[in-house]
């Protein structure tokens, strides 16, 4: 049976400028040199990481970094803690810093707050690369939480400064701020969410309502992927999350369905194009 699907890709989806910057930097070096080390996945998308490792990108972790001497190492868009820069100096490493400007600005703001002896709370995902870099600005003293319930059993000071990981939901951030104010805390709240991410909420809300089915393409590790997929589901319940072509399921579709494809800020356009081609073969 031919499905004859009408498939469109969301023009506003795909890499944000921070990811484009990091990948362009990596590709420029790999055009000249046989390999380049990268501290952590350059982007939270396994398919794009596979493409770049074939070009010579070598993904390492912090334990590997300790063993390197005199090599070039790329710092990805998520940014790093000060300790990484100190280690690089000690080991004679050349850091190619592709930290996203939005993340760098946030790191500087958190460091300034910490230097002024403010108690800092960060709304962010535990263990996320960006959050580790942010907490590093405070020598690990900031309180990180991804859900307000985590704060129930913590003795908080009456006054503190609240920041957010750049890819979190703006709605959740303001709901947390309002709840903390309601509980009587003096909260200096800083909305540090990247507008390249948050502006996609309204774009996606409009996009998904024009289609029978939505295929959302994202790596499973992507924080903004989870947030943006929730937006898709909210405004079009017939939304499906996939990370690669193998995740597609024909049974999701009916003949002549209008299908919209969209993705996270870490989803490459070439992968969404592949998904479109596959759907058009049904």
Residue with tokens 């890499």: 15
Q: How far apart are CA 89 and CA 95, in angstroms?
A: 9
Quote the DSSP letter at residue 251: G
Give the separation between CA 100 and CA 3, rounded to whole angstroms: 42
- In 3-state terms the chain splits into helix, strand, coil percentages (rounded to 5) of 45, 20, 35
pTM for the full predicted model:
0.88
Half-sphere exposure (Cβ direction) of 223: Cα atoms closer than 13 Å: 21
Determine, yes or no, domain membership for 240.
yes
Domain-terminating residue out of 66, 99, 132:
99
Residues of the chain below pLDDT 50: none
Q: Are residues 226 and 187 in the same domain?
A: no
Q: Are 142 and 134 a contacting pair, CB within 8 Å?
A: yes
Q: 219 lies in which domain range?
A: 6-14+196-280
Residues 104, 130: contact at Cβ < 8 Å?
no
Total structural domains in the chain? Answer: 3
Burial of 115 (0-12, 13-18, 19+ CB in 10 A): exposed
Question: What pLDDT is stored for residue 35 in this prediction?
Answer: 97
- Asked if 130 and 161 sit in the same domain, the reply is yes
CA 150, 161, 169, 43: dihedral to nearest 10 degrees? -90
Please indicate, yes or no, if residue 248 is contained in any of the structural domains. Answer: yes
Boundary (domain end) residue, out of 99, 127, 162: 99
User: Active-site residue among 27, 80, 130, 150?
Assistant: 130
**Per residue in 75-129, pLDDT tens?**
999 999 999 999 999 999 999 999 999 999 999 999 999 999 999 999 999 999 9
CATH number for the domain including 271?
3.40.1010.20
Name the one residue in this structure whose structure tokens are 């535990």: 126
pLDDT of residue 1: 78
33 is catalytic: no
């Amino acid at each position: 049976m031919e499905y004859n699907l009408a498939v469109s890709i969301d023009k506003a989806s795909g890499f944000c400028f921070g990811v484009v910057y990091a990948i362009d930097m990596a590709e420029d070096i790999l055009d000249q040199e046989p390999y380049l080390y990268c501290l952590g996945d350059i982007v939270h998308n396994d398919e794009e990481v596979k493409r770049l490792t074939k070009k010579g990108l070598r993904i390492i972790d912090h334990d590997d970094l300790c063993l390197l001497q005199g090599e070039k190492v790329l710092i990805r868009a998520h940014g790093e803690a000060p300790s990484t820069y100190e280690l690089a100096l000690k080991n004679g490493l050349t850091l190619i810093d592709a930290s996203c400007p939005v993340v760098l600005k946030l790191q500087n703001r958190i460091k300034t707050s910490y230097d002024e002896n403010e108690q800092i709370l960060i709304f962010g995902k535990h263990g996320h690369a960006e959050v580790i870099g942010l907490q590093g600005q405070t020598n690990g003293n900031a309180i990180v939480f991804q859900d307000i319930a985590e704060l129930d059993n913590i003795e908080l000071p009456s006054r503190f400064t609240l920041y957010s990981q750049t890819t979190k939901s703006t709605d959740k951030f303001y709901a947390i701020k309002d709840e903390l104010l309601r509980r009587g805390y003096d909260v200096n709240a800083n909305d540090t969410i990247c507008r390249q991410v948050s502006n996609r909420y309204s774009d996606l809300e409009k996009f998904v309502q024009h289609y029978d089915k939505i295929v959302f393409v994202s790596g499973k590790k992507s924080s903004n992927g989870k947030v943006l997929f929730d937006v898709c589901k909210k405004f079009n319940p017939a939304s499906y999350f996939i990370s690669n072509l193998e995740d597609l399921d024909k049974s999701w579709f009916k003949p002549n369905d209008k299908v919209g494809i969209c993705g996270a800020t870490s989803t490459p356009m070439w992968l969404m194009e592949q998904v479109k081609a596959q759907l058009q073969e049904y």
